[in-house]
Amino acid sequence: MRLFIYLFVITALACANAVSSDPIKPLPIAVEYDRKKAELGRALFMDPNLSADRSVACVSCHSFDHGGADPRPVSIGSHGNKGVVNAPTVYNSYFNFRQFWNGRAKDLKEQAKGPLHNPAEMGMVPEEIERYLRGSDFYTEAFRKIYGRAPTHDDALDAIAEFEKALITPNCKFDRFLRKETKLSKLEYRGYKLFKTLGCATCHNGINVGGNSFQKMGLIFQYPWREGLPDRYDITNSPADKNVYKVPTLRNIELTAPYFHDGSVKTLELALKKMAYHNLGFDLSAEEIEALVAFLKTLTGETPRIIGESR
């Protein structure tokens, strides 16, 4: 009984509160970050010497030409090693509640360790990284200036994380719509409404249009599952967590093909169809897909300034 009254009161309050609020929030125009650290981080981010065979850098799989993501279905690391999942975009990743597909890293700094040390990716150990950095006059000088000591593994991660923090894509059309600076086209607006009514927004919400909860791929019709994929089950071993992933961001989605954790889908249309089938149990009409795609394209923001400057 008490629960009901509680519910009722809270609901009444919440309604008044939430009427005008959209489930999506615009990105800030800029974030505060340490400029010098970020610039050092950028150099590290682009440096293939941080991989075992000096063939890949962070940027190899988080391409600035592909919305901070990897255009290949799965990433290819040093010595040509293939990964198991598609690299998620590094853009706006600062706003994700956890990092990686299954959220095993709590922040960017922790995340940066993953690919650096993963034998299938860059395959380095901290000592190797430090040895390399200390052997370089540029890094020795830069680290001394910023951190007041010789380069360390931890400081390198810190610099990379600071750079990634700066990788935001503000002022997408939809953000400007949210800020009432512009209007959406009819099609786009219809897409937004469908996005909400079809239930997309229940998972894809917040500042990153996703990235703030774990959800199951294949609620209605099961999505193929195999052992070894980095889903929640990989961490919890609870059967209910099979195919449960961190909801990916939909920002810059038109740039970050291929889609899904396995990079199995090349186009937005197909991705929408697949999501509708597996999680709604129904097919979207062509008009619905058209509208949703139009809406999704309004989520493409500006290239992060720190990249623009470097070019």
For residue 286, how many other CB atoms are within 10 A of its CB?
Answer: 9
Q: Are 245 and 231 in contact (CB under 8 A)?
A: yes
* 121 catalytically annotated: yes
Choose, by CB under 8 A, the member of 145, 282, 287, 308 that binds other proteins: 282
Site string for other proteins, 192-221 (x = CB under 8 A): ----xxxx-xxx-xxxx---xxxxx--xxx
267 sits near other proteins (criterion: CB under 8 A): no
305 sits near other proteins (criterion: CB under 8 A): no
Measured from the CB atom, the residue of 4 and 148 that comes closer to other proteins is 4
268 sits near other proteins (criterion: CB under 8 A): no
Stretch that binds other proteins, among 13-21, 52-60, 144-152, 168-176 (CB under 8 A): 13-21
182 sits near other proteins (criterion: CB under 8 A): no
Stretch that binds other proteins, among 23-31, 143-151, 175-183, 223-231 (CB under 8 A): 23-31
Stretch that binds other proteins, among 22-30, 68-76, 153-161, 259-267 (CB under 8 A): 22-30
29 sits near other proteins (criterion: CB under 8 A): no
State the catalytic residue, choosing from 32, 39, 110, 121: 121
Give the whole-angstrom CA distance, residue 126 versus residue 106. Answer: 20
Sequence-distant (6+) residues with CB within 8 A of 281 are 219, 220, 221
20 sits near other proteins (criterion: CB under 8 A): no
Choose, by CB under 8 A, the member of 18, 30, 125, 150 that binds other proteins: 18
141 sits near other proteins (criterion: CB under 8 A): no
- Site size toward other proteins (CB under 8 A) is 42
Instruction: Find the shortest distance in angstroms from Cβ 10 to other proteins.
Output: 5
Site string for other proteins, 65-104 (x = CB under 8 A): ------------------------------x-x-------
Q: Distance of CA 236 to CAs 54, 130, 233, 240, Å?
A: 35, 34, 5, 9
3-class SS string, 244-285? EEECCCCCCCCCCCCECCCCCECCHHHHHHHHHHHHHCCCCC
Instruction: Find the shortest distance in angstroms from Cβ 97 to other proteins.
Output: 5
Binding site for other proteins (CB under 8 A): 3-4, 6-7, 10-11, 13-14, 17-18, 21-25, 95, 97, 196-199, 201-203, 205-208, 212-216, 219-221, 244, 279-283
